[in-house]
């Protein structure tokens, strides 16, 4: 067995689209531990990125910053937080979609300008970053990171003499792609969202403070009340005069990434008016309408498949039960096992619950399949545990294309759905049957909202995309 295959047994999340990033910001008109609030906000957004974390704080005179590799709990100590004093803060948790994993690429990024320091945290991906970067380098600018976010930070800093608000608008009108960003100057908190609203960003309020976050679950974590989502093509400025809005792009359509609802967002979030948990349960109900199967139990690949499995069980009347026990203490830094242990194929992350599956016809539901390697191991382990039949259902359409807007996706050649029919895939993963949710079924789960980015399913993107490339394409 190959080492990579074994690692997929250990952690099914390695066979998923990787989360993008999470951003959080606070502006307070009264004394408040804004760094501490940002820390807990980022803790609630940790699912969106686990490679690095950072917080920048403005106090009216300067902006201080601390960032480090790993989880928020690894990147910060209490002393680190205590040193960050001020009334404006922004924070970022990162999963790299462009640029490698090193502390220089951690965000927020801090830049100098004629108006003083500017810190920026960005979730998303720019498709024209290379072109702008080359132009800036031809003009003599020296870049300090290999991430596309520095392109925006540089454009804002260079245009700051025209005023920070104008500089932000000019910079984001020059770039193409997806972005939800928060910016801290010494006396302002600014949030911005791309003209298509691909990446989420919302506003909350707690006491005399305004909060901005990638997801509403982080507002709940700090006791903030949800106010509204930032609109596509909108810049929100918060300072001592309150909150105001600048619409920099007209005739916008909110095309939120469909995968926010399918997998990325925490189930307790509400994004652009849709409750994430409700959409996932509905996906299971739609799956039953499209793929009614006679079975003894409905189960899920934990944790992301659970809401859809609950929906399928409700709609079908087949009891929901646990097929896999998850070890919740396997961290990111799990020690690679020796060859001797690898050959025994120990299932460290998920293990089948034999008493629940032995002699049973099992419907196993997952939110998506990317490469398919983990799906095969899960089906195999259920059969070894005594399952009589294993039917694999997927609560989203077939992933056939990469994402260019802030998700680290494999090349198209690595996507099982891009290269094989459903019958071939069923045979490859060893399932008795394999069924996907249709595009119409997915849209039925999104009732109440119009417009989504579904490029990974049908190849039609809101923004023209580059030639397929790796996330390291900005590396020199």
- Computed over its alpha carbons, how large is the radius of gyration of the chain? 23
Beta carbons of 274 and 449 less than 8 angstroms apart: yes
What is the largest distance, in Å, between two alpha-carbon atoms of the chain?
72
Q: What is the distance between the alpha carbons of residues 472 and 469, in angstroms, rounded to a whole number?
A: 8
Q: State how far Cα 301 lies from the chain centre.
A: 19
Q: Is 304 annotated as a binding residue?
A: yes
21 catalytically annotated: yes
Q: Is 366 annotated as a binding residue?
A: yes
Q: What is the distance between the alpha carbons of residues 283 and 277, in angstroms, rounded to a whole number?
A: 10
Q: What is the distance between the alpha carbons of residues 93 and 21, in angstroms, rounded to a whole number?
A: 6
Q: What is the distance between the alpha carbons of residues 404 and 469, in angstroms, rounded to a whole number?
A: 9
Q: What is the distance between the alpha carbons of residues 410 and 236, in angstroms, rounded to a whole number?
A: 34
Residues ≥6 apart with Cβ < 8 Å to 431? 364, 375, 379, 390, 391, 392
Q: Is 456 annotated as a binding residue?
A: yes
Q: Within 10 Å of residue 473's Cβ, how many Cβ atoms? A: 14
**How many residues does the structure list for the chain?**
476
Q: What is the distance between the alpha carbons of residues 374 and 65, in angstroms, rounded to a whole number?
A: 39
Secondary structure E strands in 196-239: 202-206, 209-213, 225-229, 234-239
Q: What is the distance between the alpha carbons of residues 308 and 284, in angstroms, rounded to a whole number?
A: 4
| Catalytic option among 21, 202, 217, 254 | 21
Crossing angle for the helix pair 276-290 and 306-316, to the nearest 10 degrees? 50
Peptide bond into 303 cis (omega under 30): yes
Measured CA to CA in angstroms, residue 100 lies from 21, 318, 441, 474 at distances of: 14, 46, 37, 9
- Reported as type and span, the H/E element at residue 356 is helix 354-357
Measured CA to CA in angstroms, residue 120 lies from 78, 117, 181 at distances of: 23, 10, 7
At 315, give phi and psi (nearest 5°). -70, -35
Q: Is 96 annotated as a binding residue?
A: no
Beta carbons of 272 and 262 less than 8 angstroms apart: no
Torsion of CA 299, 304, 307, 311, to 10 degrees: -60
Query: Among positive and negative, which fits the CA dihedral 283, 286, 290, 295?
Result: positive
Q: Is 217 annotated as a binding residue?
A: no
Structure tokens that stand for 462 in this block: 């809101």
Q: Provide the annotated active-site residues.
A: 21
Annotated binding-site residue numbers for [4Fe-4S] cluster: 257, 403, 453, 456
Annotated binding site for Mg(2+): 304, 366-367
Which residue ranges make up the annotated binding site?
257, 304, 366-367, 403, 453, 456
């Amino acid at each position: 067995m190959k080492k990579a295959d074994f690692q997929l047994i250990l952690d099914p999340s390695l066979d998923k689209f990787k989360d993008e990033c999470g951003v959080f910001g606070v502006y307070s008109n009264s004394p408040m531990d804004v760094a501490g609030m940002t820390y807990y906000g980022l803790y609630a957004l940790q699912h969106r990125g686990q490679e690095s974390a950072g917080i920048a704080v403005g106090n009216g005179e300067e902006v201080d910053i601390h960032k480090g590799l790993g989880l928020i709990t690894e990147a910060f100590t209490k002393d680190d937080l205590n040193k960050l004093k001020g009334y404006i803060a922004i924070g970022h948790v990162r999963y790299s979609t462009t640029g490698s994993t090193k502390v220089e690429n951690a965000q927020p990024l801090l830049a100098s300008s004629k108006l003083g320091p500017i810190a920026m945290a960005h979730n998303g991906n720019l498709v024209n970053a290379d072109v702008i970067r080359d132009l800036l380098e031809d003009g003599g600018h020296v870049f300090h990171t290999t991430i596309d976010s520095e392109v925006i930070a540089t454009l804002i800093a260079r245009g700051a003499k025209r005023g920070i608000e104008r500089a932000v608008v000019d910079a984001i009108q020059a770039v193409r792609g997806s972005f939800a960003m928060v910016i801290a100057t010494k006396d302002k908190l600014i949030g911005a969202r791309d003209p298509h609203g691909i990446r989420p960003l919302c506003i909350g309020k707690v006491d005399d403070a305004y909060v901005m976050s990638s997801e509403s679950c982080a507002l709940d974590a700090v006791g903030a009340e949800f106010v509204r989502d930032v609109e596509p093509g909108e810049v929100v400025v918060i300072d001592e005069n309150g909150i105001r809005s600048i619409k920099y792009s007209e005739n916008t359509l909110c095309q939120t990434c469909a995968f926010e609802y399918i997998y990325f967002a925490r189930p307790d979030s509400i994004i652009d008016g849709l409750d994430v948990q409700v959409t996932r349960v509905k996906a299971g109900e739609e799956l039953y309408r499209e793929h009614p199967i006679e079975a003894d139990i409905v189960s899920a690949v934990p944790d992301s498949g659970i809401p859809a499995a609950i929906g399928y069980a409700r709609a079908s009347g087949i009891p929901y039960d646990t097929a896999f026990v998850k070890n919740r203490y396997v961290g990111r830094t799990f020690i690679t096992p020796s060859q001797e242990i690898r050959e025994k194929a120990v299932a460290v992350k998920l293990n089948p619950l034999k008493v629940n599956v032995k002699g049973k016809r099992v419907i196993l539901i997952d939110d998506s399949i990317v490469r398919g390697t983990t799906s095969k191991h899960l089906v195999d382990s259920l059969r070894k545990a005594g399952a009589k039949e294993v039917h694999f259902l997927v609560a989203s359409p077939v992933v056939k294309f990469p994402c260019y807007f802030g998700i680290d996706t494999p090349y198209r050649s690595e996507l099982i759905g891009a290269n094989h029919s459903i019958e071939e895939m069923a045979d490859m993963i060893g399932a008795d049957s394999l069924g996907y949710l249709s595009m119409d079924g997915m849209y039925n789960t999104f009732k109440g909202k119009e417009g989504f980015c579904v490029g990974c399913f049908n190849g039609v993107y809101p923004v023209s995309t580059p030639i397929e490339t790796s996330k390291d394409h900005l590396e020199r």
